[in-house]
Chain A
């Protein structure tokens, strides 16, 4: 099992550009999550999906959109990137019942 995979690993964007971060899991988990991690601020939830076909806003959804394409894949889109979106983005999925989360390796995004 690959677990949770994310692409790309690194990305540099100019302000106003758009991009989609891809995430996939092969553990048959129902729930998937997108977080951003900034120095001194821990993990902040952007969006989550409790099951295929459903998505909900987290703590910091502004400037982002998501798509739960199927049970395996959950993508995060930045329509018009801003320097404030420079961060490390993590995708995760969780085990039903105990809600323990499995994380991908992260995407390091810089917006100039």
Chain B
């Protein structure tokens, strides 16, 4: 079945890099996504990667995809206190639906 797993918590110091990991099971996924949720708000798309790519960089964000191991990661360089949020990994599945992980709560300490 389809399942997306990610660790629940990550804590880093301001200025360090953060790496959030995710594993997925649907090898037919065409796109994989990272969303960010701030307290009291809806999810906001951060970035996505096409399944035939292995890396995508967008300013402080780097996404790495290992299709063989079905592993996706999000690296945030120079993490700031404003990056504190819940980060969701998601894969697209049939009929335009996405399956979401349970989210990783990132805490950035000053």
| Contact B42–A104 (Cβ < 8 Å) | yes
- Number of contacting residues on A, CB 8 A? 25
Interface size class of B (residues with CB under 8 A): 20 to 34
| Contact A105–B102 (Cβ < 8 Å) | no
Residues of chain B from 19 to 54 with CB closer than 8 A to chain A in the complex: 30-31, 33, 35, 40-45, 48
CB closest residue in chain A, given B91: A99
| Contact A106–B42 (Cβ < 8 Å) | yes
- Which of B40, B95, B98 has a CB less than 8 Å from the CB of A50? B95
A104 to B102, CA, bound (A): 19
* Residues of B close to A43: CB separation below 8 A: 43, 88, 100
* Residues of A close to B45: CB separation below 8 A: 100-102
On B, residues with C-beta under 8 Å from A are: 30-31, 33, 35, 40-45, 48, 88, 92, 95-98, 100-103
On A, residues with C-beta under 8 Å from B are: 4, 31, 33, 40-43, 45, 48, 50, 56, 58, 90, 92, 94, 96, 98-106
